[in-house]
Amino acid sequence: MVAALGSWTEGSARGAIEEFLARVTEPNGSGHVEPAARVAVFDNDGTLWCEKPMQPQLDFTIQRLREMADHDVELRTRQPWQAAHTGDLTWLNEALIKHYRGDDSDLAVLMDGVTRAFGEISVEEYQQRVSGFFRTSAHPSLARPYRDCGYAPMAELLRVLDEHGFTSYIASGGDRDFMRPVARTLYGVPPERVIGSSLGLTYRAGAGRAELLYEPTMDFFDDGPEKPVRIWSRIGRRPILSVGNSNGDIPMLAFSELPGAPALRMLVRHDDAQREFDYDAGAEEALDHADRNGWTVVSMRNDWTRVFADPAAKLLGPMGRLPRESDVSDNDSRDTCG
């Protein structure tokens, strides 16, 4: 497994992964878990890809809100259109940080804008917009396309889990249908294994065409206590491995354990200002839970030999190259990570 986890340093985090996989896959071992029950769940923003200074989905949404404000002067005086129009990332990021600290006042305002931004758009049109965004948009400070902002060590972990008979799901507070068009290319996770927040959907039959359209209302926001609910609703199994990075992931990690059964709960800590970012805002409670409950904290600075893959490198797997345009699609639902 040394080569398979080549972006992980020798240490407690990598050791916890290797020990856990050996324990649950040893055929005659006391901790053996049948392949059908080897379920892993991963948060996305800040766990599988970079979320600072803003999540890719937030950038995508800002572009749409700015477009709306350009056509409606009145919107420029109201949040979140005002922040999008003026480029006020502080207000937008603080809305998310306040949410992770238990204050949803600004998040409710942001979500109202999101629902209005994408209501009445068909699911196919939305996918086309997302695919176009990932073909052309880049991270504002890392000088790399968003599609190359996934974490190479996490892509390796997903591949290793696949090789050990695990079925991995993304369980994110982010929009489910924003992640689906690129999840297989970035992580090897097919669209049917993406669990996330969603606007409401409605069916409309027209002349020779049946459509699903987004409604201007939230169906559910997949964060905090909602995560275990959505995981069970989709999978019907309790995960035995879970990875997150924020306070909103605490219920998901806590749900991934039964007394006497094997479990691995991991928390990615952003403590690498040189290669990524250094922040604990929105993760204070999660770090406290990790300390009190024996969860494995993954230090980006100490546990990863690299954060991102080199887009020009000839590496195996989805993280080692720039995706072709044809890759940025959810039509290919292969469930391998290689």
Domain ranges of the chain: 12-26+33-51+150-327, 56-136
According to CATH, the superfamily of the domain at 12-26+33-51+150-327 is HAD superfamily/HAD-like (3.40.50.1000)
Residues in the chain: 338
What percent of the chain clears pLDDT 70, i.e. is strictly above it?
A: 91
pLDDT digits (tens, 9 = 90+) for 74-83: 999 999 999 9
Predicted local confidence at residue 163, as pLDDT: 96
CB 127 within 8 A of CB 115: no
The pair of three-digit structure tokens given for residue 247, joined into one six-digit string: 């306070």
Q: What is the residue-wise DSSP string for 296-321?
A: EEEEHHHHBS-SS--TTS--SSGGGS
Tell me: pLDDT of 336 over 70.
no
Q: By mean pLDDT, which of 2-11, 24-33, 87-96, 248-257 is the weakest?
A: 87-96
pLDDT at 90: 85
What does pTM read for this prediction?
A: 0.86
Across 319-329, average pLDDT: 38
Average pLDDT of span 290-309: 97
Q: Mean pLDDT, the chain, as a whole number? A: 89
Residue labelled with tokens 């345009």: 325
167 CA to centre of own chain: 16
Highest mean pLDDT: which range of 6-20, 86-100, 302-316, 320-334: 6-20
At 183, give phi and psi (nearest 5°): -65, -40
* Helices of type H across the chain: 12-25, 56-71, 81-86, 89-100, 105-118, 123-136, 152-163, 176-187, 226-235, 250-255, 284-293, 300-303
CA distance linking residue 189 with residue 48, whole number of Å: 12
Count of Cβ atoms closer than 10 Å to residue 204 Cβ: 11
pLDDT, one tens digit per residue, over 254-299 is: 999 988 899 999 999 999 999 999 999 999 999 999 999 999 999 9
* pLDDT of amino acid 324: 39
pLDDT in tens, 163-173: 999 999 999 99
Buried b (16+ CB within 10 A) or exposed e, 286-315: bbebbeeeebbbbbbeebbeebbbeeeeee
Does residue 87 have a pLDDT over 90? Answer: no
Longest Cα–Cα distance of the chain, Å, equals: 68
